[in-house]
Amino acid sequence: MIISIASGKGGTGKTTVSTNLALSIDQEVQLLDCDVEEPNAHLFLNPIIEKNEPVLAPVPQIDLEKCTFCKKCMDICRFGAIAVLKKDVLIFENLCHSCGGCFEICPEDAIIEKARSLGEIEHGKTGDISFIHGRLDIGQVMVPPIIKKVRSYSDPDAVTIIDAPPGTSCPVIAAMSKADFILLVTEPTPFGLHDLKLAVETVKILDIPHGLVINRAGLGNDDVKSYAQKEGIPILMEIPFDKKIAQIYSKGEMIVDRLPEYKKKFHILFEKIRQLVEAKGV
């Protein structure tokens, strides 16, 4: 079962929910941190890293001996990554989406593909939890290939928890698509509600069962609750607005360790998710 934890707005508590949920399930659990621009789950779980690997993407390299400067590669590239000059070809690697069009179209076989690094993936363990995260190299823009690579290690026999990035565009889709359940985390403020509505639209496009965690409940107003009720989105858990919890988080500690009653609460959250997934399966 794959549970993707998403939010629309940043800073609502995705990582808090992902990591504490992972520690509260009595079966094989895998945590995939797919917020590869700013991965944070490791700061709470402190995994022992056992393996790391680069995420590579192909970019064209021109063999100037064979190249006739016909410009077909430049014409097929819709990302402006190739400029053919009179006696030279310039490649702008950062603009390349690795679609392979130039490689396919070149009539002279003058293009070979070489690898460039987009980021890296680390594999590790925290107790019994298997942990994998991706990290985008500084200055790189191609985020979805790293998320897809992290997700390629998803174990079908385990409960897989995905910590998704904020927003609603391509990186979020890469972290949510083909999940069995999407758990949306929001805060009861106007910004939280506005971005929750965007996240719900995204989830509806993907047509995946979903539910809501309200974090910092008690701060702000009741509009998020009214919206969820009106839309028929089940509210599966509320975490109160409490300076103590904010301080536990600030130190990189786990709520379930410091406030043990939360272990049961997160376990109930998991059971509710499981029931909703099973109900959908029938």
Partner 1 sequence: MRELVILSGKGGTGKTSITAAFASLAENMVMCDADVDAADLHLILNPDFNKTSDFKGGNEAVINKDKCTECGKCIEVCRFDAISDTFKVDPVECEGCGICFDLCPEEAIDFPEVICGQWHISNTRFGPMVHARLGIAQENSGKLVSLVRQEAKKIALKQDLDLILTDGPPGIGCPVIASIGQATAILIVAEPTVTGLHDMERVGELSRHFNVPAMVLINKFDLNFDQTKKIEELAQEKSIKVVGKIPFDETFTHAMIQAKTIFEYSKNSQASIDIKKIWNTIIAMPEFNTPAANNIFIPNA
Tokens describing residue 197? 């509505």
Half-sphere exposure of 113 (CA within 13 A, CB side): 15
Q: Is residue 187 classed as helix, strand or coil in its secondary structure?
A: coil
Does residue 218 touch partner 1 according to CB under 8 A?
no
Residues 60-79 that bind partner 1 (CB under 8 A): 76, 78-79
Min dist CB 123 to partner 1, Å, is 20
Interface segment toward partner 1; rule CB under 8 A; list 37-45, 84-92, 232-240, 262-270: 37-45
The Cα–Cα gap between 152 and 146 comes to: 10
The Cα–Cα gap between 16 and 37 comes to: 17
Min dist CB 142 to partner 1, Å, is 8
- Exposure class string for 91-109: b at 16+ Cβ within 10 A, else e: beeeebbbeebbbeebeee
The Cα–Cα gap between 89 and 71 comes to: 9
Tokens describing residue 219? 């701060």
Place of tokens 């009539």: 107
Closer Cβ to partner 1, 64 or 205, answer by number: 205
Can you list the alpha helix ranges (DSSP code H) found in 47-138?
72-76, 101-105
Closer Cβ to partner 1, 158 or 198, answer by number: 198
Interface segment toward partner 1; rule CB under 8 A; list 124-132, 163-171, 254-262, 266-274: 163-171
Does residue 178 touch partner 1 according to CB under 8 A?
no
Interface segment toward partner 1; rule CB under 8 A; list 24-32, 159-167, 256-264, 266-274: 159-167
Among 195, 210, 254, 269, binds partner 1 (CB under 8 A): 195
Contact 150, 34 (CB under 8 A): yes
Contact 44, 232 (CB under 8 A): no
The Cα–Cα gap between 10 and 20 comes to: 18
Burial class (CB in 10 A: 0-12, 13-18, 19+), 241: middle
Phi/psi for 207 (5° steps) reads: 55, 55
Does residue 237 touch partner 1 according to CB under 8 A?
no
Does residue 112 touch partner 1 according to CB under 8 A?
no
**Residue 219 DSSP one-character state:** B
Quick note: the x/- pattern for partner 1 over 113-152, rule CB under 8 A, is: -----------------------x-xxxx-x---------
Total of chain residues touching partner 1, rule CB under 8 A? 57
Among 205, 229, 257, 278, binds partner 1 (CB under 8 A): 205
Does residue 246 touch partner 1 according to CB under 8 A?
yes
Interface segment toward partner 1; rule CB under 8 A; list 21-29, 60-68, 165-173, 227-235: 165-173
Does residue 272 touch partner 1 according to CB under 8 A?
no
By CB under 8 A, name the binding residues for partner 1.
8-12, 15, 37-38, 40, 43-44, 76, 78-79, 97-101, 104-105, 136, 138-141, 143, 165-171, 173, 177, 187, 189-191, 194-195, 198, 201-202, 205-206, 219-221, 243, 246-247, 249-252
